[in-house]
Structures are given as structure tokens and as C-alpha cells.
Chains A and B, each alone.
Chain A
Amino acid sequence: MTAVPTKPTEQTDLELIGVHKRFGTKPVLTDINVAVRQGEFLAILGPSGSGKSTLLKIVAGFERQSTGIVTLRGADVSDLPPYRRNVNTVFQSYALFPHMSVFENVAYGLRRKGVKSTVLRTRVDEALELVNLSRFAERAPETLSGGEQQRVAIARALVNRPAVLLLDEPLSALDLKIRRRMQQELKRIHEDVGTTFLYVTHDQEEALVLADRIAVMRSGHCEQIGTGAEIYHHPATRFVADFIGETNWFSGVFDNGAGIIMRDGTRLRTRATQGVANNTRVAVGVRPERIRIATDRESCRPDENRISAMINKIVFQGSSLRIEGRTSWGDPIELMQQTDRDAAAEPGKSATLAWDVSAMLLFQVTDERSAS
């Protein structure tokens, strides 16, 4: 397929058009089309092996795509080596130069460009100020903690004022508490500086917290690009639904008039759907937080589903309760409830569970193994 660049707009900082990548005969990226808006924080989210790191390397210039173009602010940079592209990378392992002080690390890119020393000094100081490390300027990198080293790496990249800042799972080597704090830092820095951020991660929570938009990757394909809310509430594929947040999955047969028929005959109502063929197997998903325990006194509304389930376990998780059970047709089911409410259910007893029809996700099962 011939790749044609879209009209360059002032609003697009980075574009990948028709990008494919093969290592030998093995496809690593297939038909990637991403347009990153100026000043956007875009997360590339996916499990290991999804090709997200390769994608970043292609943007940085360390790998070359097999077909397709990469454009930066409208210009085709596909043939440019990394040292000629106006992008900078924050590496997962920080990759600080161990034989140079923090100051010299940050100054490195500016020195390569021949920036005059007075200007250089000011800019490096600014960058260190941005990441709150001004007092560490003369230190050796190895004397800094992980979080501090990561901040040096960020300063080192940002001081060059790149068009796009690339971050390759920068927080994955940090402890949980420090990681959360660094996430806040990153968000603040992004807002302060306004540079476009392209952020690779496998942590869906991190992506949801940090990014304006998320591109979900799987096995070299981009499954969906959208805001966190869009992806969460309207996942385009079962994989996306599975990868973000938790979902209960049930298998049933779609009947155009009657809804979805489960193994034991229970019928689930569904919204009007197009594109789902009659009498085919479908995968139904409901997120745990959308399920509630219905009391007998309420009657079933037309826009909700009610089923009967046997409760097995109630797990106290601090601010929430996780209630585990089994549906009448034998599938495991989980729901989440705030702790401030009584569970209204007991292990060993059956209960009525209800959820809104609009909260249900529906996907066609294309083969026996489905889209897992």
C-alpha cells in the first residue's frame, strides 16, 4: 500500500504513516498510523512483545522502518540518523554518562551543537531547576538515587528543546512510591514545558494517569488510539477491554431479537448492535465496578440485566470489597463495592446481581480461541 503523508498541520508534531517493521521475515510492527498533536502527552501502551519499544526506536532513529514514513513537524525524517533528528530520548536505564558530572551530562547535547558557554550555562541551570536538581549539578551520577538519576535524564533531554520527547518506560525500574511521585513530576514538567511527549509503558494505570491519549498496541498492531475514558468505556477490541481495567467475560450466543443467550438459557439484554451476525458466538464483558447487588424489592428495569449468582468469597481490600461468585451458567464473576456500604451478600448464599445494559461490552468471537 502506498503511504501518503497527511496534510501537515501546525498541530501535528509527529506522524507515523503506514509504518511497518520486519526483522528478517518476522513482522514486528504492522501498519502503524499515529498522528501526535503538538504539546500532547501520548502514551503507547502494550504488553512486552507488542512492538512499542521498536516504535519508539524508529521515531528516535535507532531503527529504520521497513516501509512507511516518519515525519517530524511536517518534514520527512525517515532517512535521518538519531543525531540529526530533533527528538531526544529518556532511556529506561537512564543511560547517564558515568564519567561526567550531572551538569556535564545535561550540557552534553548543547555542547555537541556548539552552544556558547554563557548561554549553555543558563540553559543547563534552567533545566536542572525544572527537575529540582539544581543543587546536584556537580555530583557524580552514581551518587544519586534512581529517581534523581531519572530526573537528570529528563533534564538532559529537555534542555535541547526537542520537538518531541521520547520516554521508554522510564519509571519501570523504580519503587512503587517513588514511581507515583515521579508520575506527578512528569505531569508537572509536561505542563510547564509544553513539549510533545511520547511515552512507552506496559502499565495501564500509569498510562491512564499521565496521558492525554493512549495508543494500545498488541503484537505489532495498534488496536486503538483515544483518551483514557474513550478506551476504557468504549474499547475497540476485546484485547483493549481486557488490557485496561478489569472485566468479567462471558460467552454466549447472539440472537437478534432476544439478546444474548447463555449456557443455562439465561437471556441478557443488549443494546441495538450492528455488525454482529445472528446466531454467532459472542463475548460479553462487564466491568466489576458496574455490577451491583440487587435487593429483591427492586424490579428489573428495561435497561438493566439481572442474573442469579452464588457468592463464594468476600475479600476486604481496604477501600473496596471484592465479591467473588459464580453465575447461574457457571462462569466466575467478580464485582467491586465500596467498603462504606454493607455487602448485602454472604458467602455460600445466592444473590441477584444487576448491571446496566449500556455498561456491557460486546465482541464477536471470530475463532475458538477468541481475541485473547
Chain B
Amino acid sequence: MPAMTAPLPEHNSSGAVHSATGVTTDITSYLQLSPLVILMFVFAVVPLLGMLAITFFKSGIFGLEPHLTVANYLKFLGEGTYIRVLIKSMRIAFIVTATTIVISYPVAFWLAKVVTRHKLLFLIILFVPYWVNYVIRSYAWLPLLGNSGIINTFLIASGIIDQPLSWMLYNEFSVILVLVYVFLPFGIVPLYLSIDRISNDLLQASADLDATPIMTFVHVILPLSMPGLAGSFLTVFVLTIGAYVTPKLVGGTSGIMFGNLIADQFGITYNWTWGATLAVILACVTGAVVWLVSRRVPITKVFAQE
């Protein structure tokens, strides 16, 4: 039997022991990571960097003109239209996000705390409308809001008005309304998960200490549901600011959003570098908002809720 003198490499069986040496050298773990890492790197990180790179060039007739330039960014800052649409998109995104959160809170609270039995059933009831296709969810509002739509027909038929309300469709209002509709579940779910984790004992303790429901909300529920709130905010905001389908369907000319502008560059005009520039600008604006939110609530806490 050989005598062992030299220290030998540790062997950890998978999952059995948590070694205190720090970083593991087990090759299996890194192999397991590789599909995701390769996928993300090649098809997300690289393209994003590449896209950033080509914004510093201009598209010519035969491809990219081979000299670096900031002309694209200057063009953006110079032409007022694009800045206006960006600001409008941000405005719409904030309004939609705020409205969604205001609606989501009571619904999330209801699901988490008021509903005691059949929670799953109610969740399903909540989600069934979302099995209608994404595109159709916006499309379905056309027969509702239009001049000869259901709402107007009903109002005229019951004599409340005698001219159809034309301000309901093809403007910023309709875009906001429909976006709230389309993204409402994305606002409800993170909040629901967060509120669900608040122990009922805390709510009872608050009432026991003579707090009114509003005080309980402000001092107990709101702070404890911060991760969910941040999650809802970020999810809905990111989805809304890049919206394409809804503004195109129900926005008319005044409801155009930044996503539409970006898409237009890849249609007939096919101006890549300009489209990429717009996309980069949108990403930066979104990134700035995300960063600001993450300073209040750390991102990992938002997504790592179990």
C-alpha cells in the first residue's frame, strides 16, 4: 500500500459538499455553463457591441462608408422630430408604467391576501385573456374604440351623446390605454410574488397597533414589496418604451413611438446605421432608467425572489 505524502486534489461529488476553499475547479460546472454563456455572448453581447460600433459609420450605397463619424448622433440631436418622439415615448412609458402599478397593487394584494382558497384558479382566470395572441390583444381594441365601435354605438344608442367620440382612437390616449391593457399582467405578477411573501402576522400586528389600512399600506406593505414594485416598474417600462405593435395599430399619426421609428429604418429605406443609432439611443435611455431604479432596489433582489 502506497504511503500518501503529497496533498491530493479534493474530489467533491456533485452537490454533496460545499467546499470552503472558494472557487470550484470542477470542470463539469463550467461545461454546464457553456451553452448559456456561448449563446449570450455570441448572439447578444457581440451583436450589441457590433451595433454600437456601426453607429459610428454611415451607410453608403455600397455598404458602410469606411470612416468613423459621429454624424448619426449629431443628426439625432439636430433634427427635432426624433427627440420629440423619444420624449413622447418616455412620457408614454412613464404614464403607462405608473397607471399599471396603481392598478396592479390592489389586484396583487387581492390575489395574495384576500383570496385564500383557489388561488391558482384565480391566477388562471387572470391570465386567460393573455392567451389571445399578442398582436390581437391590441387589435381587439379597434372595434371597441372606433367611431362605429362598441363604446360609441352604445353611448349613441342610449342617448348619452349624439356624435361619436373620436378622441378615443388613433392618438396618444388610445396608445396609453391599450398599452396598459397589454402589459397589465407583467405589472401584477412581480408585485403579487412580493406581497405574497409578506407574512400575515405583520399586517395583523400593524392593525393591532392601531394603524389605519392606509398607514399599513404606506409603512408596512409598500416598503416590504419594494422588490416587487421595482420588478413591475422595470418590466412594464422596458416593454412599453420599445413598443411597436400597439402604437402602429391604435396610435394613428400622433401616437407614433420610438420603436416604430426604429422599425421604419429597416423597411424600405434600409438605413442600418441610422436604425442602429436610434436603437442604441433607446437602449441608453432605458439603461439609465434601469440604473436609477437599481440604486434604490438592487437588481438581483428583484429577480431572485423565489
- A–B direct touch, CB within 8 Å, in complex? yes
Binding site for B on A (CB under 8 A): 2-5, 22-24, 26, 57, 61-64, 66-69, 71, 76, 78, 81-82
A82 touches B13 (CB 8 A): yes
A69 touches B16 (CB 8 A): no
A63 touches B17 (CB 8 A): yes
* Residues of A contacting B4 in the complex (Cβ-Cβ under 8 angstroms): 3, 67-69, 78
Q: How near does chain A come to B14, taking the closest CB pair, in angstroms?
A: 11
- The answer to whether the Cβ of B214 comes within 8 Å of any Cβ in the partner chain is no
Contact among A4, A26, A63, A68 for B10, CB-based, below 8 A: A63
User: Closest residue to A69 on the B side, CB-wise?
Assistant: B4
A23 touches B1 (CB 8 A): no
* Residues of A contacting B16 in the complex (Cβ-Cβ under 8 angstroms): 62, 82
B3 touches A57 (CB 8 A): no
- The answer to whether the Cβ of B7 comes within 8 Å of any Cβ in the partner chain is yes
List 19 contacting pairs A-B, 8 Å CB cutoff, sorted by A: A2-B5, A3-B3, A3-B4, A22-B7, A23-B19, A24-B21, A24-B22, A62-B12, A62-B17, A63-B10, A63-B12, A66-B7, A67-B5, A67-B6, A67-B7, A69-B3, A81-B11, A81-B13, A82-B16
Q: How near does chain B come to A145, taking the closest CB pair, in angstroms?
A: 26
User: Closest residue to A57 on the B side, CB-wise?
Assistant: B17
* Residues of B contacting A23 in the complex (Cβ-Cβ under 8 angstroms): 19-21
A26 touches B20 (CB 8 A): yes
- The answer to whether the Cβ of B8 comes within 8 Å of any Cβ in the partner chain is yes
Complex Cα gap A26–B22 (Å) = 12
A4 touches B3 (CB 8 A): yes
Across the A-B interface, the 6 shortest Cβ-Cβ residue pairs: A23-B20, A24-B21, A66-B7, A76-B1, A62-B16, A2-B3
Contact among A26, A64, A81, A82 for B8, CB-based, below 8 A: A64
Q: How near does chain A come to B287, taking the closest CB pair, in angstroms?
A: 39
* Residues of A contacting B8 in the complex (Cβ-Cβ under 8 angstroms): 64, 66
Q: Mark B19-45, 1 if CB is under 8 A from A, else 0.
A: 111100000000000000000000000
User: Closest residue to A3 on the B side, CB-wise?
Assistant: B3
User: Closest residue to A71 on the B side, CB-wise?
Assistant: B1
Q: How near does chain B come to A168, taking the closest CB pair, in angstroms?
A: 12
Complex Cα gap A64–B12 (Å) = 8
Give me 6 other A-B pairs in contact (C-beta within 8 A), A2-B3, A66-B7, A66-B8 excluded.
A5-B1, A24-B22, A64-B11, A67-B4, A69-B3, A69-B4
Complex Cα gap A237–B4 (Å) = 30
Contact among A62, A67, A68, A69 for B1, CB-based, below 8 A: A69
Q: How near does chain A come to B174, taking the closest CB pair, in angstroms?
A: 52
Q: How near does chain A come to B207, taking the closest CB pair, in angstroms?
A: 35
* Residues of B contacting A67 in the complex (Cβ-Cβ under 8 angstroms): 4-7
Q: How near does chain B come to A67, taking the closest CB pair, in angstroms?
A: 6
Q: How near does chain B come to A200, taking the closest CB pair, in angstroms?
A: 15
Size class of the B contact interface (CB-based, 8 Å): 10 to 19
* Residues of B contacting A3 in the complex (Cβ-Cβ under 8 angstroms): 3-5
Complex Cα gap A261–B197 (Å) = 64
Q: How near does chain B come to A48, taking the closest CB pair, in angstroms?
A: 15
* Residues of A contacting B11 in the complex (Cβ-Cβ under 8 angstroms): 64, 81
Q: Which B residues between 71 and 123 are near A, CB-CB below 8 angstroms?
A: none
Q: How near does chain B come to A187, taking the closest CB pair, in angstroms?
A: 29
User: Closest residue to A76 on the B side, CB-wise?
Assistant: B1
User: Closest residue to A28 on the B side, CB-wise?
Assistant: B20
* Residues of A contacting B2 in the complex (Cβ-Cβ under 8 angstroms): 76
User: Closest residue to A26 on the B side, CB-wise?
Assistant: B20
* Residues of B contacting A26 in the complex (Cβ-Cβ under 8 angstroms): 20
Complex Cα gap A22–B5 (Å) = 14
Q: How near does chain A come to B122, taking the closest CB pair, in angstroms?
A: 28
* Residues of A contacting B1 in the complex (Cβ-Cβ under 8 angstroms): 5, 69, 71, 76
Complex Cα gap A26–B5 (Å) = 18
User: Closest residue to A20 on the B side, CB-wise?
Assistant: B7
B20 touches A24 (CB 8 A): yes
* Residues of A contacting B21 in the complex (Cβ-Cβ under 8 angstroms): 23-24
User: Closest residue to A60 on the B side, CB-wise?
Assistant: B16
Q: How near does chain B come to A66, taking the closest CB pair, in angstroms?
A: 5
Q: How near does chain A come to B4, taking the closest CB pair, in angstroms?
A: 6
Q: How near does chain A come to B155, taking the closest CB pair, in angstroms?
A: 59
Complex Cα gap A64–B13 (Å) = 10
Complex Cα gap A78–B12 (Å) = 13
User: Closest residue to B7 on the A side, CB-wise?
Assistant: A66
* Residues of A contacting B17 in the complex (Cβ-Cβ under 8 angstroms): 57, 62-63
Q: How near does chain B come to A355, taking the closest CB pair, in angstroms?
A: 45
* Residues of B contacting A57 in the complex (Cβ-Cβ under 8 angstroms): 17
Complex Cα gap A71–B12 (Å) = 19
* Residues of B contacting A81 in the complex (Cβ-Cβ under 8 angstroms): 11, 13
Q: How near does chain B come to A88, taking the closest CB pair, in angstroms?
A: 14
User: Closest residue to B20 on the A side, CB-wise?
Assistant: A23
* Residues of B contacting A22 in the complex (Cβ-Cβ under 8 angstroms): 7
Q: How near does chain A come to B114, taking the closest CB pair, in angstroms?
A: 30
Q: How near does chain A come to B280, taking the closest CB pair, in angstroms?
A: 45
* Residues of A contacting B13 in the complex (Cβ-Cβ under 8 angstroms): 61-62, 81-82
Complex Cα gap A23–B16 (Å) = 16
Complex Cα gap A64–B2 (Å) = 16
* Residues of A contacting B5 in the complex (Cβ-Cβ under 8 angstroms): 2-3, 67
Complex Cα gap A26–B20 (Å) = 9
* Residues of B contacting A62 in the complex (Cβ-Cβ under 8 angstroms): 12-13, 16-17
Complex Cα gap A82–B13 (Å) = 8
Complex Cα gap A121–B175 (Å) = 69
Complex Cα gap A4–B3 (Å) = 6
Complex Cα gap A22–B6 (Å) = 13
Complex Cα gap A68–B7 (Å) = 9
* Residues of A contacting B10 in the complex (Cβ-Cβ under 8 angstroms): 63-64
* Residues of B contacting A24 in the complex (Cβ-Cβ under 8 angstroms): 20-22
